[in-house]
Amino acid sequence: MSDCVVDLPPEYCQYHDNGCEFAQSCLNCHLPICVYDEPGGKQRLLKRRRAAEMARQFTREGKSIGELAQIFGVSRRTVQRALKIAFGDKHGKRSGDAQFHSEEPDAEESRCGEGNS
């Protein structure tokens, strides 16, 4: 007798397609690649969904960075990173929203007035 494993065609196997928390069935899943086939796939998908919801609340509901941080239970910096990813560099800052960047002035700005006295 040999120790080889027989790889049967699908029609001869009892396969139970129970899906996951993202889809009822693997065969009817909307995702192009299974989140369990990609390293960090589930976490990446959840972060993208969270970033999209943060961006939606930021733009449509006018929530501030601090409010979003409290709602989602993350730091202000995490919200800033999520918005930067969601909008890209040029659109991440809403006009008139000084809270998007830290309240501390940049090192360049603070040095501008030092030598001109």
Q: List pLDDT tens digits, range 21-77.
A: 888 988 888 888 888 888 888 898 889 899 999 999 999 999 999 999 999 999 999
Band of residue 2 on the pLDDT scale cut at 50, 70, 90: low
**Residue 14 has what pLDDT?**
76
Q: Evaluate whether 87 touches 55 at the Cβ level (below 8 Å).
A: yes
Query: Residue holding tokens 């192009």?
Result: 32
Q: State mean pLDDT over 6-31.
A: 81
The confidence score (pLDDT) of residue 56 equals 95
Alpha carbon of residue 109 to chain centroid: 32
């006018």: which residue's tokens?
Answer: 62
Q: Given its phi and psi angles, is residue 40 left (phi above 0), alpha (psi -120 to 50 degrees) or beta?
A: left
